[in-house]
Amino acid sequence: MAEPLLEISGLRTGFDTHDGTVPAVDGVDLTVHAGKTLCVVGESGCGKSVTARSILRLIEPPGRIEAGTITWHGDDEPFDVLALPRDDERLQKLRGGDIGMIFQEPASSLLPVRTVGAQLIEAIRIHTGMDKKAARKRAVELLAQVGIPNPDQRVDAYPFQLSGGMCQRIMIAIALCADPALLIADEPTTALDVTTQARILDLLRNLQAEHHMAVMFITHDLGVVAELADEVAVMYLGKVVERATVEELFADPKHPYTKQLLESVPVLGRDRGRDLPTIPGAVPNPLHRPKGCSFHPRCAEAIPGRCDIDEPPEVVFDGGRTAQCVLYDDGQGGPA
């Protein structure tokens, strides 16, 4: 396995409300390895995006990071991102420099009143110190690299003159402008039609190989996971409930939530004429977490008297994959 590039340990991020603190991320442990793709998957509201934003400390009040460490190994000396003072230059270097980020809605991430070139050139100049002329040349090169046709003309276009797919390519170009070691992509294809989505995924795969960068890809789409991932983390209600390589996860899912998610994906030819299984119920309000395993009200394999009482331990299997579930617990933290 490649070297760790980013290690998240015990991350807790909450949002203060009148009714109490909502624990959006509740003790997450994750590792992104250099040059590899980690897909973080789960239903809406499970804490995927908040985890990603916590890495770059982009959590605004009433949200706050309450605990944990986020260790960046990309520099000579590893450091904890959460321990850095707000004005530390290593934090500025991480944001948009060592770590690029692309968001779900390209149209709302680009300023409508400035040309895409101006926004790209500004990012290039901040992170590389190039003069205006060199940055414009680099901007045109980057637009060509992300597949924008006629890049020397499109560089002067406004976002509203471009399609959603093209705007997402511009966002990718901005994220890549400083040649990051890690690209965090937060549901970057959700707002796009399937054809454009496939093209953007191809583009990301090619760019990853070309730039040798790691990718943390956040999605609710298991089809995307199968296409892109080396490793997968499945999140439920602010926790990582299963971690495995993509082959392990699809061939032998351990956690009942993962199994039920996989069963609810249609398979071409197999599911004709039959109702697709769904996961019963809905994700509970995180302010009122069920006691014990928070998945137990929806779990097909829940053990009454145990799953509704005790929080399940994280079981580590041979090879390092994990699942938070009593079904695999031998009582000593190992697989049963």
Which parts of this chain interact with ligand SF4 (CB under 6 A)?
255-256, 293, 295-296, 299, 301-303, 307, 312, 325-327
Q: Which residue has the tokens 């039959």?
A: 274
CB of 79 to ligand SF4, least distance (A): 36
Shortest CB 307 distance to ligand SF4, Å = 3
Phi and psi torsions of 325, nearest 5°: -160, 140
Minimal distance, residue 302 CB to ligand SF4, in Å: 4
Q: Which is nearer to ligand SF4, 116 or 302 (CB)?
A: 302
Query: Which of 103/257 has CB closer to ligand SF4?
Result: 257
Smallest distance from ligand SF4 to CB 282, Å: 16
Q: Work out how close the CB of 252 gets to ligand SF4 at its nearest, in angstroms, rounded to a whole number.
A: 16
Please, which residue, 97 or 253, has the CB nearer to ligand SF4?
253
* Chain CA centroid to CA 184, Å: 6
CB of 244 to ligand SF4, least distance (A): 15
Shortest approach of ligand SF4 to residue 313 CB, angstroms? 9
Rounded to the nearest whole angstrom, what is the least distance from the CB of residue 194 to ligand SF4 in the complex?
Answer: 32
Residue type, position 19, single letter = D
SS3 115: coil
Query: Smallest gap, in angstroms, from Cβ of residue 326 to ligand SF4?
Result: 4
Return d(Cα 284, Cα 133) in angstroms, integer.
53
- Which of 127, 255 has the CB closer to ligand SF4? 255
Looking at residue 211, its amino acid is: H
Angle between helix 194-211 and helix 164-176 axes, rounded to 10 deg: 20
In the complex with ligand SF4, which residue's Cβ is closer, 51 or 260? 260
Token output for 66: 């309450």
How long is the chain? 336
**Number of helices (H), then strands (E), in the chain:** 11, 12
- Asked if residue 243 lies in contact with residue 256, where contact means CB atoms within 8 angstroms, the answer is no
For 94, residues 6+ apart whose C-beta sits below 8 A from its C-beta are 56, 72, 81
**For strand 231-236 and strand 239-245, is the pairing parallel, antiparallel, or unpaired?**
antiparallel
Q: Which is nearer to ligand SF4, 35 or 312 (CB)?
A: 312
What gap in Å lies between CA 5 and CA 28, rounded to an integer? Answer: 16
CA pair distance 335, 326, nearest whole angstrom: 9
Q: Which is nearer to ligand SF4, 53 or 255 (CB)?
A: 255
Nearer to ligand SF4 among residue 140 and residue 302 (C-beta): 302
Which residue pairs from 18-25 have beta carbons closer than 8 angstroms and sit at least 24 positions apart in sequence? 19/287, 20/287, 21/66, 22/286, 22/287, 23/238, 23/286, 23/289, 24/50, 24/63, 24/238, 24/286, 25/50, 25/51, 25/54, 25/238
Greatest extent of the chain over all pairs of C-alpha atoms, in Å: 69
For ligand SF4, the closer of residues 96 and 256 by Cβ is: 256
